[in-house]
Amino acid sequence: MSLKLDKTYSSNSIGTKVVGDLGDIQVSDDSDSENNKKVSRTLTSKLSIPPNLIKNTVPVFGSVTVSSSDNVQFGNNTYFNGPVTIKQVIQNKSGVDNVAYINTETENDTSAQHSHKGEIADTSIKKEQILLWHKITFSAVCFTVIGSIIAIVLVLQNNTVQQRNTDQQTDFQISNSSSDPLLIAPDHLRIVSRSDWLAEPVDRPLTVLKLPAPWVIITHTATESCHTQSQCVLRVRLIQTFHIESRGWYDIGYNFLVGGDGSVYYGRGWDYEGAHTKGYNKYSIGIAFIGTFNSNPPPKRQIEACKKLIKQGVQLNKIAKDYKLFAHRQLMSTLSPGDEVYNIIKTWPHFVSNFTDTGSLIPSGRY
C-alpha cells in the first residue's frame, strides 16, 4: 500500500494527506512559490499508522513521542503550535507505556518528592500505630495495677474484719474461762499478758506468795496516765525497766497494773510476792493505777477494771474472802495512790479506815 503526505502551506493552516507506503513514508511539500515546484522527502522511520488515520478521525497512537516540533497535526483538526512534547505516562487497558520517553530532571525530582512524601506518610502511619499500641499497653498496665491495689485493699479489709471477729470470739471465750490465772475475765475483763506488753524475763526466781492473800493494797505508778493499749504498754515497759535497773528489783514491783484503757496488765501475777509496799508484800496483792491521781480522777473504766480484778481474785481463791483493803499511804509515808483514787476506794467494801496496829490485822498462824 502506498501512502502520500501532501503538506500545503497557507497563511496559518496546514493540510496533510497520506499518499505513501506504510514502510516508506513520503512527504510531499507543495508550496505556492513562483516555480510551483514540488519538494519531496523520504523519511526512513518506522511508524505504525492506525486505520483510523485513513478514515480522517482522531488517531490513537500506541506509543508516540513528539519533541521540539514547530507545527504538528494529527488528523483533520488537531493542531499543536510551537515546541510541543507529547508523552503517554499512564498505562491502561487501551494504551501502552511510551518506552522511548526519558524523564527530565524536574520530573525525576518530582517523582522522588512524591516517593519521599509517601515514605513519610507510611512512617507517620507506623508511628501512629506504635503510639496506639503503647497507649493500649499502658492503659492495660494501669488497669491491672489499679485492680491489684483494689484487690489487696479489699483482702486486707476482709482480713481485718475477720481478725476483729476472731478477737471478739476470743475475748468472749476468755471471759467465760477461769482455768488460766493469766486470763481472768468472766465479767469481760481483759488481762494483758507479759508477752503482750513485752516484759523482760525476771533476773532471779521470785518468792512464792501464800494464798489466798489476806490483803489488797492499792497504789499508783506516779507516771503519766494512758488511755490506749499502746500507751499503757509503753508505760508498763518503762516501769519494769526502772524497777529492775534503778531499784535493783528482780522484776516489776506490782502484781497487777490497771490502765486507763480499761485493761489489766499482768505484773508478777497472783502467785508471787510483789515489791510495792516494803514490809507488807508477803501479805498482799499489790494493784497499781497507771498514772498520777493527786488532782485528776481516773476514768470510770479504770476504776471498774480494778473492782473486777479484786472480785475475780476472790472467786479464784487468790484473795481471801475476808480480805482487808488498804491504800498505799496507810502503810507507808507516801501520797500514793493519790487523793482522787483514795477518796474512791474508801467507799469500797473491805476498806480498813481506822487502825492503830497493823500486826493485829495479820491472820495468826499463817506467817
| DSSP letter for each residue of 267-308 | SS-SSB--SSSTTTGGGEEEEEESS--SSSPPPHHHHHHHHH
Cα angle, residue 94 at apex, residues 90 and 98 outer, rounded to 5°: 45
Q: What is the largest CA-CA distance in the chain?
A: 179
Q: How many CA atoms lie within 13 A of 6 on its CB side?
A: 8
Q: Nearest-CA neighbor of 314 among 345, 290, 350?
A: 350
| Residue 324 near residue 357 (C-beta atoms within 8 A) | no
End-to-end CA distance of the chain: 160
- 191-353: CATH topology is Lysozyme-like (3.40.80)
pLDDT tens track of the chain, all 367 residues? 334 444 444 444 444 444 444 444 444 444 444 444 443 333 334 444 455 444 444 444 455 555 555 555 555 555 555 565 555 554 544 555 555 555 555 555 555 555 555 566 667 777 777 777 778 888 888 888 898 899 898 888 887 777 666 655 555 444 444 444 444 445 689 999 999 999 999 989 999 999 999 999 999 999 999 999 999 999 999 999 999 999 999 999 999 999 999 999 999 999 999 999 999 999 999 999 999 999 999 999 999 999 999 999 999 999 999 999 999 999 999 999 999 999 999 999 999 988 777 777 887 767 6
Spatial distance between the Cα atoms of 7 and 129, rounded to a whole number of angstroms: 64
| Residue 299 near residue 337 (C-beta atoms within 8 A) | no
3-state secondary structure at position 257? strand
φ and ψ at residue 294, rounded to 5 degrees:
-70, -30
Residue 139 has what pLDDT? 84
Pairing of strands 38-43, 25-30: antiparallel
Q: Which residue matches cell numbers 505504525?
A: 48
Residue 169 has what pLDDT? 56
Q: How many CA atoms lie within 13 A of 144 on its CB side?
A: 6
Q: Which residues pair with 356 in a beta bridge?
A: none
Residue 242 has what pLDDT? 96
Q: Which residues pair with 17 in a beta bridge?
A: 6
